[in-house]
Amino acid sequence: MRISDHISEKIICLALEKTTKDDVIRELAELLKDSEDVTDFDMFLKDVFEREKLGATGIGNEIAIPHARTDAVNNIIIAFGRSSQGVDFNGIDNKPVKLVFLMGTPKKDINKYLQVLAHLTRLLKKESFRQQLLEAQNAGEVLNAIRQIEN
């Protein structure tokens, strides 16, 4: 299961403008709004916020992975955003989040969902990869970093 199969340059934002968790999630979700994989944008957003209520998605190391299993998407989708100032995601380490991966997965694909989430989490444990994401100058460099670490 490859992260690079579910992300593209047009759904990468290297300069998130919003400063709160909810606003950042909305900002990233907007990147997915016109995706053919999103069948119901409002439901997708509602489901992500419902999942957020269950527990913080800030996983430490300045990373958050807000996500939802939802009937509002027909394929796994992942948007990536970077915040220079950091955003409070109530992370386990109480540090502001700079790297945000917003993920949606069809409810029926629970195994794929778990695989992608676990794979992404494993990759993000590598400090050199996180540093590449923080230093990327454009969306192409983000994709290249993801592809390199997956190979």
Closest CA to 67 of 103, 38, 37: 103
Please report which helix (H) or strand (E) contains residue 148, including its range. helix 139-150
Residue listed under structure tokens 């195994």 = 111
Q: How far apart are CA 52 and CA 97, in angstroms?
A: 15
Q: Cβ contacts of residue 121 below 8 Å, gap of 6+?
A: 59, 65
Check if 6 is active-site: no
Q: How far apart are CA 85 and CA 23, in angstroms?
A: 14
Please pick, among 6, 21, 67, 98, the residue that the annotation labels catalytic: 67
Task: Read off φ and ψ for residue 41, nearest 5 degrees.
Answer: -60, -45
Residues designated catalytic: 67
